[in-house]
Amino acid sequence: MSRKLFPTQEIGSLKKPSWLLKTVKNPRTSNQEKVKARNDAALLNIRTLEDLGLDIVYDGEVRRVEMYEEPVRYIKGFEFAGRVRSWDNKYYKKARVTKPVSFKSNFHKDEFKFIKKNAKQDIKVPVTGAYTLADWSYDEHYKSKEDLVLSLAKRVIRPLLKDLVRLGAKIIQIDEPAATSHPLEMEVFRDSVNESVRGINAKIIVHACFSGNEYEALAPQMPEIKAKQFTLEFANRDSWNAGTTEKERRGYRVLNLFREHGYKGEIGIGVTDVHVDRIEPSKLVRDRILYAAKALGDPTKIYVNPDCGLRTRSRKVAFEKIKSLVQGAELAREKLGN
């Protein structure tokens, strides 16, 4: 795993190449041709992310339909109910839980094995977490949301993580965009992560975004959650002005709250806004990193990433944002003499 200051990483999704979508949606395309197309797209993403300079990569989730719909397809107990609108005017199929949930098989197995074989850099596997799967579903079976969440954690996510580790996964990111959407349920969220990772021998990262309350509800729970790192969104609430004072870096002030609550782990700071096409200047990225390093009190605990997955941006914009992210991290290292 990377040891240099401010390691850079992706969060997960990238927009799929148009030629891939055309190929897999063509009814005349054979299954063998679809497999080859997905492999080609995955390899393209891996090589592009590595060439851009990221220290930790994946394949842009190029084989996955969507972060919720993809895993639900392979979990017993779910039935799809229909399409609903998500953020950035995207849609996904929402499902109903009609009977006890259980793990069928490792639905990321082939994806992970291909990436492990082809990636030159460290790899991080993104997995949709139990709380988000429950929160984005209709529950028609369990007596409470907590029962559903913990059942998913114990009976689906934990077996999935265990099998990924068996295959060689060393870094696993649990994606929980719904984590802070219900501040009064943070203890349920905490317990869901801890149950999911119980007995799992890997570096666990929790990714949480869409934080309308600026992570104020999450902060008290962070020391109790069994994760080595939290990757969080900051850039979309920050100013575009250069500088490292609290005035310019208002989007990162909550880092002080993490320290106040005793969190001593790593933070993957979002330095690029995934909701806009505007490219962050590398010097702005540098200043965001330097402020975060000072606020957290230990620059070795800072990792650098986009706020979230970049699937809603064009591939050109996404790669330009990642390029600026990598350059900004290098400028921050130079500033600190690393």
Which CATH number do you get for residue 118? 3.20.20.210
CB atoms within 10 A of CB 14: 25
Split at pLDDT 50, 70, 90, the class of 87 is: low
User: Which pLDDT score, from 0 to 100, does residue 211 have?
Assistant: 59
Instruction: Tell me the residue length of the chain.
Output: 338
| Number of domains the chain is built from | 1
Split at pLDDT 50, 70, 90, the class of 93 is: confident
pLDDT(84) > 80: no
Instruction: Kindly state whether residue 78 falls inside one of the protein's structural domains.
Output: yes
**First vs last Cα of the chain: how many Å apart?**
18
Contact status, residue 133 vs residue 175, Cβ threshold 8 Å: no
User: Which pLDDT score, from 0 to 100, does residue 102 have?
Assistant: 96
- What is the rounded CA–CA span in Å between residue 257 and residue 46? 35
Split at pLDDT 50, 70, 90, the class of 92 is: confident
pLDDT(272) > 70: yes
Split at pLDDT 50, 70, 90, the class of 89 is: low
pLDDT, tens digit, for every residue of 205-248?
999 986 566 799 999 999 999 999 999 999 999 999 999 999 99
pLDDT, tens digit, for every residue of 95-116?
999 999 999 999 999 999 999 9
Selected residue with higher pLDDT from 117 and 3: 117
CB atoms within 10 A of CB 32: 8
DSSP class per residue in 202-265: SEEEEEE---TTTTTTTGGGGGGS--SEEEE--GGGS-S---SSTTTTGGGTHHHHHHHTT--S
User: Which pLDDT score, from 0 to 100, does residue 338 have?
Assistant: 74
Split at pLDDT 50, 70, 90, the class of 61 is: very high
Instruction: Kindly state whether residue 8 falls inside one of the protein's structural domains.
Output: no
pLDDT, tens digit, for every residue of 115-140?
999 999 999 999 999 999 999 999 99
Instruction: Kindly state whether residue 164 falls inside one of the protein's structural domains.
Output: yes
Structural tokens at position 292: 């975060």
Mean pLDDT of the region 9-27: 95
Instruction: Kindly state whether residue 212 falls inside one of the protein's structural domains.
Output: yes
Instruction: Kindly state whether residue 1 falls inside one of the protein's structural domains.
Output: no
Contact status, residue 274 vs residue 231, Cβ threshold 8 Å: no
User: Which pLDDT score, from 0 to 100, does residue 162 have?
Assistant: 98
pLDDT, tens digit, for every residue of 289-310?
999 999 999 999 999 999 999 9
Give the domain range for residue 291.
Answer: 18-335
pLDDT, tens digit, for every residue of 148-178?
999 999 999 999 999 999 999 999 999 999 9
Q: What SS3 state is found at 101?
A: strand
Contact status, residue 130 vs residue 149, Cβ threshold 8 Å: yes
pTM of the predicted model, to two decimals? 0.95
Contacts for 279-284: CB closer than 8 Å, 24+ residues apart: 279/317, 279/320, 279/321, 279/324, 280/235, 280/240, 280/321, 280/324, 280/325, 280/328, 281/242, 281/324, 282/324, 282/327, 282/328, 282/331, 283/242, 283/328, 283/331, 284/240, 284/242, 284/328
Percent residues over pLDDT 90 in the chain: 89
pLDDT(88) > 90: no
Split at pLDDT 50, 70, 90, the class of 1 is: very low
Structural tokens at position 164: 């990924």
- What is the rounded CA–CA span in Å between residue 36 and residue 30? 10
Candidate from 72-81, 204-213, 252-261, 320-329 with smallest mean pLDDT? 204-213
The amino acid present at 224, given as its one-letter code, is E
User: Which pLDDT score, from 0 to 100, does residue 209 have?
Assistant: 85
For 163, half-sphere exposure in the C-beta direction (CA atoms, 13 angstrom radius) is: 16
Instruction: Kindly state whether residue 11 falls inside one of the protein's structural domains.
Output: no
